[in-house]
Amino acid sequence: MGYCSTGLVYMKIQEDNKGSVLLVTVFAIALFSVLVVGMLQLNTEEIQLVRNQAGAAEALAIAEAGLNDAFARIRKNRDWAEDYYNKSFAGGKYVVSVTGTLPNRTIVSKGTSSKNFVAKLEAKVTVSSKHPYKIRIDSLRINE
């Protein structure tokens, strides 16, 4: 202890605390860095999940376009049963195949997005015998 000019007592601060303050500071910076890297990793994974979801939705929309294209052809001509390949739609392509005998048909449409995501639709349908030909979807399978 010592005395100052006003007569108050003061204590000398020991200089040994400087090393521990540095250690705590380095630890805090390291902890903060780990938190930041963890958050960046989570954000990167979330962005990839959103991209995958969007690609899958795009492929499904393209496959639906192929199915609708087949329905339009059948509505015009009940006997239509041609397969077609790599028809372009919205930057992607679809392939459609038609099997079965009238009035029952199975239509399979496979859509591929511009980023190579793939979706498949299979519709079992019944086609009416009167023009305009109505199509009843008996079952619809998605990505099986």
pLDDT tens column, 48-86: 999 999 999 999 999 999 999 999 999 999 998 889 999
Q: pLDDT category, 21, cuts 50, 70, 90? A: confident
Instruction: Name the region of 7 (left: φ>0; alpha: ψ -120 to 50; beta: rest).
Output: left
CATH of 22-142, one of 3.30.1300, 3.40.1710, 3.30.70, 3.40.50: 3.30.1300
What CA–CA distance (Å, rounded) separates 24 from 19?
9
Q: Percent of the chain beyond pLDDT 90?
A: 72
With a cut of 80, say whether residue 19 has pLDDT above it: no
Instruction: Write down the pTM of the prediction.
Output: 0.74
